[in-house]
Structure formats: structure tokens, C-alpha cells
């Protein structure tokens, strides 16, 4: 006694299912990457790459009860660029953008790895850190930012000079 049947349709169906699964997994991966990219863009400044005001608000809400990273305190340094409008008006928006990027690099370089640096709009930035038991670190951080930003920055052969005003709240 023998049985004979053609398994070609079953093999083809299994292959189609494998391909459909691979396509679905690839599409899910693409969607996840797109979701991450959209979320990143929604929470970061497109020019400097720093977190934006929305991200800052979320961070402050997360740390409101127990202080920044559980330290029991939160220190905010509000930074406003001085003479930025003059650079923007005389040398153009490209120069202004270059100075914003320069300022963001100075802020990142001046801060510790655990500090949170955000651009909250225009020429305003905020640094969030733990205050600690004394204000010495905050004083040193503000001084180092002021000194670094005062150094001239070059843009297309033009020497651009601007300063910062820093307000500190603990």
C-alpha cells in the first residue's frame, strides 16, 4: 500500500509565511526606529542637539520630589547669551546659529557628565544639577562658563564675541 501526494503547495505556503514573517519583522524594526527618531526630535533642539524645553520640563517633574538624581536638591543655572542679537543682525542667521552651537559645546564641556544641559529657546539655556552641601561647585561652574564664552569664536573669518548672563536658583 502506498500513498502519494504533492507537497509543493505546503512547501510554497511555508516559504510564503517565512517571507511574510521576515517582512513584518523588518517593518516593525523600521517603525521602532521611526518612533525613536520622532521621540528624539520632539525632545531635542534640532540645531544644537541639546534637550529642549519640553524635555527639561519632564526632567524637572521626574526629579521634583527627591532632588536631581536623588541628591535632595536641584540647582538651575539659567543662561542667556549677551550680544547675540547683534551678531545675528550684523553677520546673519548663519553666524548666530554657529554661535549657538559654539555656546552649546562650551556648556557641555563645562558640565559634568551627570548634569543636564538644555536649550529652552532662542539664546537661552538651562543647566540642571544637584546643588550639594555648598554653592562652591555652582560658583565655579558659572565662572568657567563665563570665561569660556568670553573667548572669541570664529565664523567665516569674523571674530565673534559675546558673553553670558547666568542666574542661579537652588
Catalytic residues: 123
φ/ψ (deg, to 5) at 127: -115, 130
Separation CA 133–CA 71 (nearest Å): 10
Rounded CA-CA distance 27/32 in Å is 9
Q: Please tell me the distance from the alpha carbon of residue 154 to that of residue 139, in angstroms, as a whole number.
A: 28
Query: Going by C-beta distance under 8 Å and a sequence separation of 6 or more, which residues neighbour residue 72?
Result: 66, 130
Cβ count within 10 A of residue 18: 10
C-alpha grid cell, residue 40? 528624539
Per-residue b or e along 133-150, where b marks 16 or more CB atoms closer than 10 Å to that residue's CB: eeeeebeebbeebeebbe
Amino acid at each position: 500500500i502506498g500513498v502519494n501526494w504533492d507537497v509543493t503547495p505546503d512547501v510554497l505556503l511555508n516559504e510564503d509565511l517565512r517571507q511574510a514573517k521576515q517582512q513584518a519583522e523588518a517593518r516593525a524594526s523600521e517603525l521602532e526606529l521611526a518612533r525613536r527618531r520622532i521621540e528624539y526630535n520632539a525632545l531635542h533642539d534640532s540645531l544644537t542637539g541639546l534637550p529642549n524645553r519640553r524635555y527639561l520640563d519632564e526632567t524637572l517633574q521626574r526629579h521634583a520630589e527627591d532632588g536631581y538624581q536623588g541628591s535632595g536638591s536641584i540647582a538651575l543655572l539659567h543662561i542667556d547669551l549677551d550680544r547675540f542679537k547683534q551678531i545675528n543682525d550684523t553677520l546673519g542667521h548663519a553666524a548666530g546659529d554657529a554661535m549657538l552651537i559654539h555656546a552649546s559645546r562650551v556648556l557641555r564641556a563645562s558640565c559634568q557628565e551627570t548634569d543636564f544641559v538644555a536649550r529652552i529657546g532662542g539664546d537661552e539655556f538651562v543647566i540642571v544639577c544637584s546643588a550639594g552641601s555648598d554653592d562652591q561647585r555652582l560658583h565655579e561652574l558659572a565662572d568657567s562658563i563665563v570665561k569660556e564664552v568670553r573667548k572669541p569664536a570664529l565664523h567665516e573669518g569674523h571674530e565673534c564675541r559675546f558673553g553670558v548672563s547666568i542666574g542661579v536658583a537652588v
